[in-house]
A and B are shown apart, each in its own frame.
Chain A
Amino acid sequence: MEKIRKKINFLGALYIVTLFIPFAVFVYPMLVPENGEVAEVVEEEEEAEVVNGIEVTSGLIYDDGYKLVATNCGACHSLELVTQNAATREGWIEIIRWMQETQGLWDLGDDESIILDYLSKNYAPKEVGRRPNLENIEWYDLEI
Chain B
Amino acid sequence: MENKKKKTTQIDRKSFLLKSAATTVAVAFGANHLFGGSGTSKSKSPSSVKTNSAGKLKGKHEELTILNSKPWNAETPPHLLDDKYTPADRLFVRNNGVVPNEVNIDKWTLTIEGESAKQKKTYTFAELKSKFKHYTYQLTLECGGNGRKEFSPPAKGNQWGVGAIGCPKWTGVRLKDVLNDVGVKSNAVYIGYYGKDTHLTGDPDKIPISRGVPIAKAMEDEALIAWSMNDEDLPLLNGYPLRLIFGGWPASTSGKWLHKISIRDKVHDGPKMEGYSYRVPRHPVAPGTKVPEEDMVIIERLPVKSIITYPKTGAKIKGDKIFEVRGHAWAGDLAIKEVHTSLDFGATWNKCTLDSADNKNAWQQWKTNVKLPQQGYHEVWVRATDTEGTMQPMVLPGWNPKGYLNNACHRIAVERT
Q: Which residue numbers of A lie inside 8 Å of B, CB to CB?
A: 16, 19-20, 22-23, 26-28, 30-33, 36, 38-39, 42, 45-47, 49, 56-59, 70-71, 73-81, 84-88, 91, 95, 98, 102-104, 125, 127-132, 134, 137-142, 144
Q: Interface size class for chain B?
A: 35 or more
The CA of A132 and the CA of B152, in the complex, are separated in Å by 10
The majority secondary structure among interface residues of chain A is loop
Q: Interface centre among A28, A47, A140, by most B CB within 10 Å?
A: A140
Interface contact B67-A36, CB-CB below 8 Å: no
User: Which parts of B339-385 form the interface with A (CB within 8 Å)?
Assistant: 379
Interface contact A19-B413, CB-CB below 8 Å: no
> Given A27-B20, A38-B44, A144-B323, does the pair A134, B313 have CB atoms closer than 8 Å?
yes
Interface contact B413-A80, CB-CB below 8 Å: no
Interface contact A27-B150, CB-CB below 8 Å: no
The CA of A32 and the CA of B44, in the complex, are separated in Å by 8
The CA of A15 and the CA of B314, in the complex, are separated in Å by 56
Q: Which residue numbers of B lie inside 8 Å of A, CB to CB?
A: 4, 7-8, 10-11, 14, 17-18, 20-21, 24-25, 27-28, 41-47, 49-50, 52, 66-71, 150, 152-154, 156-159, 199-201, 203, 206, 271, 275, 311-318, 321-323, 379, 394-396, 408, 411-415
Interface contact A130-B413, CB-CB below 8 Å: no
Chain B nearest CB, measured from A60 CB (Å):
9
The CA of A119 and the CA of B71, in the complex, are separated in Å by 21
Residue numbers in A under 8 Å from B153 (CB-CB): 88, 91, 125
The CA of A104 and the CA of B117, in the complex, are separated in Å by 32
Residue numbers in B under 8 Å from A125 (CB-CB): 152-154
Among B20, B43, B71, B199, contact of A38 (Cβ-Cβ < 8 Å)? B43
Residue in chain A with minimal CB distance to B397:
A130
Residue in chain A with minimal CB distance to B200:
A76
Residue in chain A with minimal CB distance to B324:
A144
